[in-house]
Structure 1
């Protein structure tokens, strides 16, 4: 007879439980043992979460800024999820309009299963991509190797609801996150919608907008968007001119 003690019960948390079993299958746990285990559960759960967060923090520290700027899920060599950040869960809940979502939606999990069936042990040069048209969600999968030599499978989730690419403005002093935020302005996203899509707080969106405005010499979303579009056009023309000169030379 066994006794199962849940360890992680929060939304998006790793699904964990501790199992206690008697040496003899016909032995049962006394009520006192069950009460003791129940009383210890919060302490064990807190300790387990701390260990998991430390492990996840080490993994996140090894990822590049480019990997971290978009919502992601990290899997180990057994294809088990080892890092599912809360902002990723929030992003998926926003995309799927489901506040009860607790993990990867089935269509994403099914896509990963298809990749695994095709290539059970993908290498560093292997990568896969997919666009869920109905959800306007892009999926990018590849293998990354951390400094200690361990390899992980990285699934990045790309919001396709915004189509404008402002990444060239990084050359003008904008950060990657600021350029990503700008891509939501043409579609008329509100601050709260941008926050949900990027997995950040609404006050952080306001701070980024203020910083972007200072860098572009504009204030307010409309002025910022106009200034960003104007600057993007200038940068694009400069790049095109430079490419043309290189071809001539």
Structure 2
């Protein structure tokens, strides 16, 4: 009994350790300016201030950044998941020379530090005349998310018995019908789990966007948040308001799909 109480207390304290920064961000967004950096600190935002949100929502640069983030994220998640799914099916269902080496290459790519790729990406996009454009940033994000997504989806596809596809083929289904009506519904939890990874990776990424995007109209939201940091001070109120709006879609999305996501992650770990 004491052990259980100790474990529960430790879990609560650990959860509070992770939740407190999120709470402080949200509370700062609703605090008046005089309470944001007050000493002693004010833990409850009272009176509640909505002026920071009004200032952000009235800024055209915020909507440009939101458009850029949505464009890049939706394109990368949709296109990357489709490419990774086709690659996963090929790796799990077909036998060809070099398949094992290719799977190992997918894993090794994930071990390369992101900082080591700044210069190659920069030079490549410059030569392709895509530097500073959202298309170039999408290609960079695809090169980051697709290898891991394909490797994960391979486990999901491999866990599905091939007998189901053979039975559908015997009944007269074409290869496309077998893929769409048999394989795709069974691998859908895996697609959801891997798409969450891609979504969070692209939505919150800062460094590549900061290095590769030089047009303020194409800045995504992480770069827009950084714009509130001046040379001598930081405008914490609007910055935390943007951070709150920036975090809210991720939290809501994950709360909606968390059960299927956990089930999908567990299913992908069954067979690799």
* TM-score greater than 0.5 by the shorter chain: no
Instruction: Give the number of the structure whose residues are more often helix, by fraction.
Output: 2
Instruction: Give the number of the structure whose residues are more often strand, by fraction.
Output: 1
Higher relative contact order (CA 8 A, sep 6+): 2
TM-score (norm 1): 0.27
TM-score (norm 2): 0.25
